[in-house]
A and B are shown apart, each in its own frame.
Chain A
Amino acid sequence: MWLIEVLGFGQKGWGGLLIAGAVMTLCVTIVALLIGAVVGTLVAWAKLSGGGVLRTLGNAYTTVFRGVPELLIIYLVYFGGSGAVTAIGRYLGYEGFLGLPSFAAGALAVGIISGAYQAEVYRGAFLAIPKGELEAAEAIGMHRGLRFRRIIAPQVLRFAIPGIGNVWQLSLKDSALVSVTGLADLMRTSQVAAGSTRQYFLFFIAGGCLYLILTSLSDRLFTRAERRANRSMPSSFGQA
Chain B
Amino acid sequence: MVHEHSSDPSTATVNRLSVRNIRKKFGSLEVLRGISLEADDGDVISILGSSGSGKSTFLRCINLLEIADEGEIWVDGEHINMVKKHGKNMPASSKQVDHIRAELGMVFQSFNLWSHMTILQNVIEGPVHVLKRPRAECIAEAEALLEKVGIAEKRHAYPAHLSGGQQQRAAIARALAMRPKVMLFDEPTSALDPELVGEVLRVMRALAEEGMTMLVVTHEMNFARDVSNRVVFMREGQIDCTGAPPEMFSGESSPAFRQFIGNFRG
- Which residues in A have some Cβ–Cβ distance to B below 8 Å? 130, 132-133, 135-144, 146, 150-151, 154-155, 158, 231-235
Contact = CB atoms under 8 A, between A and B. Distances in A.
A130 B130 CA distance: 21
Given A140-B130, A234-B160, A235-B161, A132 B102 contact: no
A155 B115 contact: yes
A155 B112 contact: no
Contacts of B100: 141
A132 B158 CA distance: 17
B99 A141 contact: yes
Given A136-B112, A143-B95, 17 more contacts: A132-B110, A133-B114, A133-B115, A135-B112, A136-B106, A136-B114, A136-B171, A138-B65, A139-B101, A140-B101, A140-B102, A141-B99, A141-B102, A141-B130, A155-B115, A155-B116, A232-B158
A233 B112 contact: no
A231 B158 contact: yes
16 contacts: A132-B112, A133-B113, A135-B65, A135-B112, A136-B171, A137-B114, A140-B106, A140-B178, A141-B130, A142-B129, A150-B125, A151-B114, A155-B116, A232-B115, A234-B160, A234-B161
Contact of A232 (B63, B111, B160): B160
A158 B116 contact: yes
Main secondary structure of the interface of A (DSSP, over half): helix
Contacts of A141: 98-103, 126, 130, 178
Contacts of B174: 140
Most buried by B among A141, A146, A158, A232: A141
B206 interface: no
B250 interface: no
A240 to B, nearest CB: 15
B121 to A, nearest CB: 10
A136 B108 contact: yes
A232 B117 contact: yes
Contact of A142 (B95, B110, B116, B130): B130
A133 B99 CA distance: 19
B94 A150 contact: no
A133 B95 CA distance: 21
Contacts of A231: 158
B130 A146 contact: yes
Interface in B212-241: none
Nearest to B64: A138
Contacts of A232: 115-118, 158-160
Interface in B153-169: 158-161
A142 B101 CA distance: 9
A58 B125 CA distance: 33
B63 A139 contact: yes
A224 to B, nearest CB: 18
B114 to A, nearest CB: 5
Most buried by B among A137, A139, A140: A140
B116 A154 contact: yes
